[in-house]
Amino acid sequence: MRRSRDVPALVGAAREGDARAVARLISLVEDGDEALPRIAAALAPHTGEAAVIGLTGSPGVGKSTTTNELVRAFRKAGRRVGVLAVDPSSPFTGGAILGDRVRMQDHATDPGVYIRSMSSRGHLGGLSAATPQAARVLEGAGCDPVVVETVGVGQAEVEIAGLADTTVVLLAPGMGDAIQAAKAGVLEIADIFVVNKADRDGADTTYRDIQGMIGLGERAPGQWRPRVVRCVASRGEGIDELVEAIEAHRAYLTDSGELTARRTRRAEAEIGAIALGALRARMQDLRSGTTLSTLAEEVAAGRSDPYAAAEALLAELR
């Protein structure tokens, strides 16, 4: 299984709970293997139902610890859980420690839990470029929910909102004042806020600032109002309330039709990313040939302009 490219056999084994088959499929996805279209086609009949839950937040707010406790709660309910933990990769060496799973060792021997660490491989936005397809692999393998933990992010890394059905943004005391809470960016994508480490000084202030920010937002009648949950994940406190909020949001998505709308937008983004990837590959082919070099020489010499050259390049691609 660790070296196989027999897609039907791999998908069948993954559906039966073979962790090695799941690992192999995700590895093929990460490597952009030529078998990827066949993998996607084989998985398609088994996807579209699992809940995808995204956890994001700044470094040190307790994402991995909260993920660990969420997995424990879902397993207690008898659900098979998949986790994708994305770690940052070095811009200099390309390497990554992949240490998020160290905090999830409680589930290392549980056959009902599959945890995969992924390097961001320089991809911006808090995820890896392969994360959407890796999530499909876990869903196809029977995991429900699939929990995606992002890289420790700043204010602008909001890509998780395009992948997850429910986006959970973790905060901790000391993140800043009320002005910080009102800034645009990652705080705008939350369906649920978690004030983690709520036993620390300043937790009440953070809770009030977030509630105040939510109160400033405009929403239509019946539209979801983000919930704020206090947690001390290291002690398992507040996790039941977090699960309850996730389930309530899932019910809202289903009843309102927003779940279908979100998944359609997600599919649009996936299709666009795959198409752009194919175009980049063809561009690279042209770069290694003579077309792009000839056009560049004409622009550099003043015999053409960049826009005309770009049009000529697009015509070549067509």
Q: By CB neighbour count within 10 A (0-12 exposed, 13-18 middle, 19+ buried), where does 298 fall?
A: middle
Above pLDDT 70, what percent of the chain? 83
Q: Which two tokens stand for residue 47?
A: 């996807």
Q: How high is the pLDDT of residue 219? A: 81
What does the pLDDT look like over 44-75, one tens digit per residue?
888 888 999 999 888 888 888 999 999 999 99
Question: What's the mean pLDDT when you consider all of the chain?
Answer: 83
Q: How high is the pLDDT of residue 194? A: 93
Phi, psi of 60 (to 5 degrees): 90, 5
| Contacts with 218 (C-beta within 8 Å, 6 or more apart), sequence order | none
Within 10 Å of residue 87's Cβ, how many Cβ atoms?
Answer: 20
What does the pLDDT look like over 271-282, one tens digit per residue?
888 888 788 877
Least confident of 27-31, 246-250, 283-287, 312-316: 283-287
Assess whether pLDDT exceeds 70 at residue 168: yes
Phi, psi of 142 (to 5 degrees): 95, 10
Assess whether pLDDT exceeds 50 at residue 179: no
Assess whether pLDDT exceeds 70 at residue 183: no
Assess whether pLDDT exceeds 70 at residue 102: no
Assess whether pLDDT exceeds 70 at residue 124: no
Alpha carbons 99 and 251: distance in angstroms, whole number? 33
| Contacts with 107 (C-beta within 8 Å, 6 or more apart), sequence order | 68, 71, 72, 75, 113, 115
Least confident of 65-79, 125-139, 233-247, 299-313: 125-139
CA dihedral 287, 290, 291, 296 (to 10 degrees): 80
The structure's pTM equals 0.83
Q: Which two tokens stand for residue 91?
A: 């811009």
Assess whether pLDDT exceeds 70 at residue 123: no
Give, for 256, the enclosing helix (H) or strand (E): helix 239-256
Q: How high is the pLDDT of residue 86? A: 84
Q: By CB neighbour count within 10 A (0-12 exposed, 13-18 middle, 19+ buried), where does 109 fall?
A: exposed
